[in-house]
Amino acid sequence: MAKPEAIRAGYFVAIGLIPGTAPRNCYLGLVQSADEYGVRINLVEWDDDLDGVKKYTEDLFVPWTSITSMLVCTEDEPVRRFIKDKAPKWQADIESISVED
């Protein structure tokens, strides 16, 4: 289980879930909060028209026990590269692993 202090509000994450936990096995989001129970993220994607992060109105809470892995982008790392390139590729890889099972 991840320690809440390792994941903080303002970090971008791609969260891999135990298959069958939610409709998708990987979600991209901006961390809103993390505590001893889990992490709450605002779902995001890259908006090419605005050349910026597009946030949704929905938040997703994920208990630590449902998380298998997490790709993390701290405030010291380039957000654009993470949200536009790295996280979607990682998300696709996680989804393909689940299909192969």
Instruction: Walk me through the domains of the chain, giving residue ranges and CATH numbers.
Output: 4-100 (2.30.30)
Taken in order 32, 99, 88, 1, the sign of the CA dihedral is positive
**What's the whole-number mean pLDDT along residues 29-34?**
95
**0.75 cut: is pTM over it?**
yes
pLDDT greater than 90 at residue 2: no
- 35 contact partners, CB below 8 Å, separation of at least 6: 4
Q: What is the pLDDT of residue 50?
A: 85
Tens digit of each residue's pLDDT (9 = 90 or more) over 69-100:
999 999 889 999 999 999 999 999 998 986 65
> At 4, is the pLDDT very low, low, confident or very high (cuts 50, 70, 90)?
low
If one counts every other C-beta atom within 10 angstroms of the C-beta of residue 34, the result is: 22
| pLDDT given for residue 97 in this prediction | 85
Question: What are the CA-CA distances from residue 47 to residues 3, 51, 96 (Å)?
Answer: 31, 6, 24
- CA pair distance 85, 61, nearest whole angstrom: 24
The backbone torsions φ and ψ at residue 40, rounded to the nearest 5 degrees and listed phi first, read: -110, 125
Cα separation, 15 vs 66, whole angstroms: 10
Segment 34-74, tens digit of pLDDT: 999 999 999 998 888 888 888 888 999 999 999 999 999 99
Residue 1 has pLDDT above 90, yes or no: no
